[in-house]
């Protein structure tokens, strides 16, 4: 295996889409002007299309992949460069999977990981955003976030390989364990940890942190960078993204629900009651303290 995957990892509703918008504007435009089509250059790994590339290798287990213990035997095979189907030196992939091992089968490996950007968000705001995104109540959202065994279904690709009953799933676990799984490993690959709040409220400073990460750790050189940053700031603010979504829709939104809603910090203060807040803080105190979520 070669180091050919660059992971953009996060717990759901933590800012991964905003990060993709910024990165795609840096890497895949000449002027930094963002539009939704650019997101197609950084897609989600958890798509059954990639499973179809190795279905002969999977054999009789194909009908058993809903069983996560069986499915995880094949994840590293899916991640081989020839099965991912691109010619570039490396490729960005979004993921919400935790970086866990199930029955000694890894989600991913140091050997095929070029680098990692992990984006973290205040779990109290994640709770509010996840509830809005999925139509759950805040209590249901909390139960989702504190579930040690929580998983997420893969996106059904156009290959129609799976019906609604046997779609594979990836392991999420609870919010704090997800964060630790990506941010506390000792792999020999560069890791950048970003906070959602900085992406929104310190965007220019954070874009420069991202650019310097790629310059310093990978030797990348960027053309027209100053102009790109100006245009990224203009075209990736939440108000503009909301307006585009309302006008043209957004494929990643849940049916009938708005994806880009507010992007604000501390929404939880006016949304969650005392018991809900204390439950989140009690479950996740150690990691919240580590990342200064007071």
pTM (2 d.p.): 0.92
In a domain, 264, yes or no: no
Phi, psi of 226 (to 5 degrees): -60, -45
pLDDT one-digit tens code per residue, 252-268: 544 555 555 666 789 99
Structural domain contains residue 136: no
Instruction: State which residues form the domain around 202.
Output: 5-122+149-236
Cα–Cα distance measured from residue 86 to residue 104, given in angstroms and rounded to the nearest whole number: 28
256 or 53, higher pLDDT: 53
Per residue in 105-157, pLDDT tens? Answer: 999 999 999 999 999 999 999 999 999 989 999 999 999 999 999 999 998 87
**49 part of a folded domain:** yes
In a domain, 254, yes or no: no
Angle, vertex CA 157, rays to CA 156 and CA 158, nearest 5:
125
> Residue 105: inside a domain, yes or no?
yes
In a domain? residue 272: no
Structural domains in the chain (count): 1
**What pLDDT, on the 0 to 100 scale, is given for residue 156?**
83
Here the CATH number for the domain that contains residue 94 is: 3.40.50
Question: What is the mean predicted confidence (pLDDT) over 173-193?
Answer: 95
Decide if 39 is inside a domain: yes
Instruction: With respect to residue 54, please indicate whether it lies within any of the assigned structural domains.
Output: yes
């Amino acid at each position: 295996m070669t180091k050919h995957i660059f992971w953009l990892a996060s717990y759901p509703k933590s800012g991964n889409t905003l990060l993709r918008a910024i990165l795609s504007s840096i890497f895949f435009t000449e002027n930094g002007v963002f539009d939704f089509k650019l997101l197609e250059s950084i897609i989600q790994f958890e798509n059954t299309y990639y499973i179809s590339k190795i279905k002969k290798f999977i054999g009789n287990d194909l009908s058993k992949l809903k069983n996560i213990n069986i499915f995880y035997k094949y994840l590293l095979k899916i991640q081989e460069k020839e099965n991912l189907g691109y010619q570039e030196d490396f490729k960005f992939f979004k993921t919400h999977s935790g970086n866990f091992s199930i029955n000694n089968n890894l989600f991913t490996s140091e050997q095929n990981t070029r680098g990692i950007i992990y984006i973290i968000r205040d779990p109290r705001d994640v709770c509010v955003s996840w509830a809005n995104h999925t139509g759950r109540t805040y209590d249901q959202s909390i139960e989702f976030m504190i579930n040690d065994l929580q998983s997420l279904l893969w996106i059904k690709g156009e290959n129609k390989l799976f019906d609604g009953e046997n779609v594979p799933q990836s392991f999420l676990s609870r919010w704090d364990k997800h964060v630790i799984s990506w941010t506390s490993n000792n792999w020999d690959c560069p890791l950048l940890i970003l906070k959602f709040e900085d992406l929104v409220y310190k965007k220019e400073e954070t874009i420069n942190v991202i650019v310097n990460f790629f310059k310093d750790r990978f030797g990348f050189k960027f053309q027209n960078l100053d102009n790109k940053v100006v245009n990224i700031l203009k075209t990736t603010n939440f108000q503009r993204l909301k307006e585009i979504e309302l006008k043209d829709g957004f494929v990643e939104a849940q049916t009938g629900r708005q994806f880009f809603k507010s992007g604000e910090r501390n929404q939880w203060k006016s949304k969650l009651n005392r018991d809900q807040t204390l439950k989140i803080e009690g479950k996740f105190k150690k990691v919240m303290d580590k990342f200064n979520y007071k």
